[in-house]
Each structure stands twice: as C-alpha cells, then as structure tokens.
Amino acid sequence: MPEPTLPALAPPSPPPPSTASPASEASDIHPSLPPDTTSPSYRKALKRHLATFQPASSPSLSAFRDAEKRFKCRFPPPREEVSGALDLALLDAGRGEEVREGWWVGSPGVDEGRVREVRLQEGEGGRKGYLVPSVPGLVILPAFLLPREQRQLVRCCLQEAAKSPNETNLDTHYLVPPDGLWAAAQERPGEEIKPRAAVLHAPETGDDDGEKGRRTLIANPPASATSVANLLTPKVSAASSPNLSPALPAQLLPKLRWANIGASYHWTSKSYDLSRAVPAIPCEIADVCKRAVRAVPWGEVYIPSAGAAAGQAPGWESWTEDYTPDAGIVNFYGLADTLMAHIDHSEVDCSRPLVSLSLGHACVFLLGGATRETAPLPILLRSGDALIMSGPCRRWYHGVPRVLEGSLPRSLWDRLEGEDAREWAPFGRYLARARINVNVRQVFPPGMKVERLSAVAPEDVS
C-alpha cells in the first residue's frame, strides 16, 4: 500500500509566557499542543496505526455513532470535521486571539441559518445568547463566564466539589481523605492513599463500575412522579477493586473522572439515590447556573417572533423565578477521554433547564435526537461557554467524543489579570492536560423538595 499523503497540519509555535505573570511561574505550566502531522513522531505513529488498523466490518453504524468515530479519530486529526462544528466564538471579536491560538476552528453558523441571536436579560452587560431553530429548547451562551469566574469555578470544582460529603469515582476504590484528593495532593503529596478493599479485608458486594469510572449503558424508563419510591430505595454500592496498591495523590488525580454534587446519582443503576443525605451544591456553582437561567429571555425560546411554537416546555414562564438546581455532576476529562451518547432522563421533571459549564480545554459536543439514528449537531464549546438544554431536547442523545488538545486559553495558565501566579500554578498545571465540565439540573418540579423526600421511607410514598 502506498504511503498516504499527509495534510500539512503543523501547529503554531507555542506562545511565549505573558508578562502578566512572573515568567518563572508561567514557564512551569506547559499546556497541550495541537497535533503536528508533519513531525517524524507523528508519521511513525501513523505507520503503526495503519499497520494494525482494521476497517469496520459492518457499515450499519448509527448516525450518532458514525459521528463519534469521526471526531475521535487521531490519524489524521479531525480538523475538517471540526471546521463544520458550530463555533460561536467566531462571532465575538474579543475572542479572536483565543480562537487563533487554539488551532481548532469551527463555523459561526449565522450565514447558514443554524442559529438565531437573542439578547440576554438586563444585568448581563448586553451579552448575547444563541438559539438553534433545529434543536428546540437549546440555548448557548458563549463566554458567559469571565476568565476570573472560570478560575474561581476551577478552584471550586477541585477543592470543594470533589471532596466529602460528595462522592467521586475514586471513593469506591480508595479511602480518599475527607478534605479531598486535591488537598491531599497539595498539602500531603508524599502520603499514600490506601485502597478501600485492602483496609476492609473483604470485597464489598455490588456491581463494579471500575476504577476509571466506566459508564455502562442502561435503558431505564424515564423518571416520573410515580417512580419516586424507587429513588428512595437504597442502592447497592459498586464493588471495590481487590487488586489495587496504595497510591500517591498525584497518581490518582488523573484518574478522577466525576464528582456528584447535590442529590446522589447512582452510576450503576443510572438513577438517583435519595436514601442518602443530600449535600448542598457549592454556592459558586449553584449561583452561576441560576444566573444563566435567569439571563435567558425564555419568551423568545418558546414563543419565537415568527409566531410558531418552538417545542413545548411546561412551566417555562416561571423558570427565571423558581429554577432551583438540586443535583449535578462535575466531569473531569483528560485529553483522551470521551463521554458516550446518552440521554438524561433520571429527573422527574425533564423539561426544566440542564445547565452545562465548560472550563479548560475546548471540546466537541454532539447533540442528536430522540434516537441514535438522528445525525447530531456538532458544537465546539470553549472555556467559559454555558449551554442550556431544556424542553424537548432534554431527552435527546448527546455526548462528548473529543477534547481538543492545544485549546487551553491563556487566561487559565499565564494571563491571570493580577492574580497570584504562584497560588494558581497547581491549577494551571492540572488544566494543561484537562477539561472540566459542570452540569447541574433540577430533579423535581417546584413543590417537591429533594431534602424532604430523602427523609421519607419508601413505604410512605403513595
């Protein structure tokens, strides 16, 4: 087989550290670079890939799965596919440098009629949001978070969200200290964390989701008011792995995949476990998500100026007043991590807004339809973007097939606007190879409180 022609996709040279932070601190952070397909190492890796690559034996992939595979491709990098993704940063002249340095560039979507602009409510500085007419209930708020707000949320996710009483994927397998993995890594870096099974001397019973937080697909029926008793039934914990060795905090940080906040989400059964106490969602996260919902002119989302109803979402008129997030998940992605196509239908009220915040590296977000056969819309989400799913699209398939290497904005590693570079350095080093996603939702409609239900026995629910 002749050697394939390689596209010239050499990345730009890495920018020098900004003078906004001390060079000694900035130079200690080395963000990921975009792929360099002209390098000898890439060509060597490509040859190894082609020598072992086996084409799919069946062309019967669903439309969503086909899109996932194209964006996950490493040889060559899917720059052409990404160029067709909706990239609303291109409509903001203030983000031009961020886009150029990030290498990956999508499409603004305005000329093609894929988006419709709306002005956010007063108090948001005249900022804009965007609706996607083909996806009823979807609202995108580009650059909703200022750089300093992004840094504040990064701290919150690592220091507050990923510690007791909130559960993480590592708690199943390790005796993570109560003050959390991040505190252990910064304050006691040489202190090993023991495996849970080794200390308990016996494996626990239950289904094993694995140390890496693998998420199996389970076809649960959508939650409803009549299924509350199931949510109040205690769920069996996943089994601890019996074959793990003690590990240093720095060795476990890259294995941190998720942290529950608010009502406990049981990954094995893909449902909430309200038999457990419900911790408060960190106020920094809850406040931002409520602000995002209040910023949206929902009358333009569900009663467009053209007069036709854009889908249905009972109660949207009161969301700006009564939206109260009570559950959420913080996802921690490495550069090679993905999130498979899935539908969120564990909430009793599945039309109320789900708010998703992006921090760190950019990603490709796919939003399909009610089945995997619907070709998904690719959206390029950058750090600081907020995305809200509400109404009909809440029960549509979505996923993240690609974290985009080389896309960490400089405001998260060396342009710190006067902040203490030394204090930020550990967070910048973490983000150099990571993306954080915060997604928050409201499990029950107004009048049904998670805190009250968690104190009720299942047999008391009729």
| 3-state DSSP of the chain | CCCCCCCCCCCCCCCCCCCCCCHHHHCCCCCCCCCCCCCHHHHHHHHHHHHHCCCCCCCCCCHHHHHHHHHHCCCCCCHHHHHCCECHHHHCHHHHHHHHHHCCCCECCCCCCCCEEEECCCCCCCCEEEECCCCCCEEEECCCCCHHHHHHHHHHHHHHHCCCCCCEHHHHCECCCCCHHHHHHHHCCCCCECEHHHHHCCCCCCCCCCCCCCCCCCCCCCCCHHHHHHHHCCCCCCCCCCCCCCECHHHHHHHCCEEEEECCEECCCCEECCCCCCCCCCHHHHHHHHHHHHHCCHHHHHCCCCCCCCCCCCCHHHHHHHCCCCEEEEEEEECCCCEEEECCCCCCCCCCCEEEEEEECCEEEEECCCCCCCCCEEEEECCCCEEEECHHHHHCCEEEEEECCCCCCHHHCCCCCCCCHHHHHHHHHHHCCEEEEEEEECCCCCCCCHHHHCCCCHHHCC
Does 345 count as an annotated binding residue?
A: no
Report yes or no: 454 and 233 within 8 Å, Cβ to Cβ.
no
**Is residue 13 packed enough to be buried (19+ CB in 10 Å), middle (13-18) or exposed (0-12)?**
exposed
Largest CA distance in the chain: 71
Residue 102 to residue 360: CA distance in whole angstroms:
12
Closest CA to 410 of 380, 439, 384, 386: 384
Q: How far apart are CA 29 and CA 304, in angstroms?
A: 46
The residue written with tokens 């670079």 in the block is 33
- The residues, any chain, with a CB within 8 Å of residue 372's CB and separated by 6 or more, are 62, 63, 64, 65, 341, 397
pLDDT, position 230: 65
- Taking a C-beta distance cutoff of 8 angstroms, is the pair 281, 326 a contact? yes
pLDDT on residue 263: 87
CB 384 within 8 A of CB 358: yes
pLDDT at 47: 84
For the entire predicted model, the pTM comes to 0.85
Q: Is 398 annotated as a binding residue?
A: yes
Question: Tens of pLDDT along the chain (462 residues)?
Answer: 443 333 344 444 444 444 444 445 555 788 888 888 888 888 888 888 777 766 654 578 899 999 999 999 988 889 999 999 999 999 999 999 999 888 899 999 877 678 999 999 877 777 899 999 999 999 999 999 999 999 999 999 999 999 999 999 999 999 999 999 999 999 999 999 999 987 765 444 444 444 444 444 445 555 555 566 666 676 667 788 888 999 999 999 999 999 999 988 877 777 788 778 889 999 999 999 999 999 999 999 997 655 545 567 888 999 999 999 999 999 999 999 999 999 987 787 889 999 999 999 999 999 999 999 999 999 999 999 999 999 999 999 999 999 999 999 999 998 888 899 999 999 999 999 999 999 999 988 787 665 555 544 444 444
- Identify the pLDDT of residue 235: 66
Q: What is the pLDDT of residue 461?
A: 42
> In whole angstroms, what is the distance from residue 90 CA to residue 362 CA?
14
- For residue 350, what pLDDT is reported? 84
Check whether 201 is labelled as a binding-site residue: no
Closest CA to 286 of 316, 251, 326, 345: 326
Query: Structure tokens of 424?
Result: 């930020």
The answer to whether 388 touches 356, Cβ cutoff 8 Å, is yes
Dig out the tokens for 113 from the structure. Answer: 């009629």
With tokens 């921090």, the residue in question is: 359
Instruction: Report the C-alpha gap between 426 and 434 in whole angstroms.
Output: 13
Contact yes or no for 149/419 (Cβ under 8 A):
no
**What does the block give as tokens for 457?**
């026995």
